[in-house]
Amino acid sequence: MNRKKITIVGAGNIGATLALLLARRETADITLVDIDEGIAKGKALDIMEASPILGFNAHVTGTADYADTANSDVVVITAGFPRKPGMSRDDLLFKNFEIVKSVSEQIKKYSPDAFVIVVTNPLDAMTYTALKVTGFPKERVMGMAGVLDSARFAYFISEKTGISVENIKAFVIGGHGDDMVPLRKYTTISGMPVTNFLSDEELSEIIERTRFGGGEIVQLLKTGSAFYAPAASILEMVIAILWNKRKILSASVYLDGEIGEYYGASGLCVGVPIVLGKEGVEEIIKLDLSDEEWQQWRKSVESVRKLVEKLPL
């Protein structure tokens, strides 16, 4: 039986961390692609040299040539510029648009049956770009943001309550920007409402910190943005697809038809709860939101729409 093949475009902080995580789980063979061939080859070799110690049999190779990515099952796009202090994710729009567009053309050419997971910021606009440029069915193109934002929310709740992270299920929807929508009602600790454990005020503080969670890391690192938690979040999505987990998680996906009307976001990619399995986005789940949450959701959707309207697509 052939092994699965995963291509990671961008062998930077997120791409290389993801390659190591995927290799350790022996999920597939991995091709790291970077415009800088030495970075891709060097990081791939470094990871392989860890394999005798860590004991994994996956092969990781580095390249600058998309022909080496042919027939990938999953392609993850992390190529692009990360934020610097003082920059919003949206400041990256035009620079990263050109990169994601050219990468998407290569994916379409070499891996026409792949699932595509977009990580490059601004996330929702870049996911839309990949969808339009590849022309792939909407079930096969998605953006990783909600898993990360939800993980940050969960970690902060664990930190505040002193309860294990394993017990916390947090949920964040909306665009991957500072007006994302963390949901109180759908956030639980071992099935119990989070509001049983934290006051309104405590929760509001945590929600605010979650919204600026990416920025907090950028401020600390100064030379780049977060990569451990983003890589872990992508790992969860890749495994959900390859192992047909049918996992409910939040991801940026294309909203059209009835579900787009329901969310007031037709024709855009925005973070919503989905069921992720071997067909990709197998379902989009409707949520019952409070008036305040709908208001926040609409604001978040409008931010995404404004960016997408600027794209020369």
Q: Binding site for NAD(+): residue ranges?
A: 10-15, 34, 96, 119-121
The answer to whether residue 32 forms part of the interface with ligand APR (CB under 6 A) is no
* Radius of gyration for the alpha carbons in the chain, expressed in angstroms and rounded: 19
Helix (H) and strand (E) counts for the chain?
10, 14
Interaction between residue 177 and ligand APR (CB under 6 A): no
With binding defined as CB under 6 A, does residue 99 bind ligand APR?
yes
DSSP 73: S
Q: Which secondary-structure segment (H or E) carries 141?
A: strand 141-143
Tell me which H or E stretch contains 15. helix 13-24
Using the rule CB under 6 A, which residue among 6, 8, 9, 180 binds ligand APR? Answer: 9
Annotation says 59 is catalytic: no
Closer Cβ to ligand APR, 9 or 168, answer by number: 9
Q: Which of 5, 176, 184, 211 is catalytic?
A: 176
**Nearer residue to ligand APR within complex by CB, 80 or 213:** 80
Binding part of the chain for ligand APR, among 11-19, 46-54, 127-135, 248-256 by CB under 6 A, reads: 11-19
Extended beta strands in 103-158, E state: 115-118, 141-143
User: Rounded to 5, what percent of the chain is helix, strand, coil?
Assistant: 50, 20, 30
> Within 10 Å of residue 54's Cβ, how many Cβ atoms?
10
C-alpha 110/C-alpha 152 separation (Å) is 35
- The beta strand positions in 47-93, using DSSP E, are 60-63, 74-77
One residue of 63, 121, 210, 303 binding ligand APR per CB under 6 A: 121
Binding flags for ligand APR, 210-239, as an x/- string (CB under 6 A): --------------xx-x--x---------
Q: Is 15 in the site for ligand APR (CB under 6 A)?
A: yes
Q: How far is the CB of 25 from ligand APR (least distance, A)?
A: 20
The torsion angles phi and psi of 168, rounded to 5 degrees, stand at: -100, 125
Site membership for ligand APR, residue 143 (CB under 6 A): no
The token pair at 305 is 């729409």
Binding residue ranges: 10-15, 34, 83, 89, 96, 119-121, 152
List residues binding ligand APR (CB under 6 A).
9-15, 33-36, 39, 78-83, 92, 96, 99, 102-103, 119-121, 224-225, 227, 230
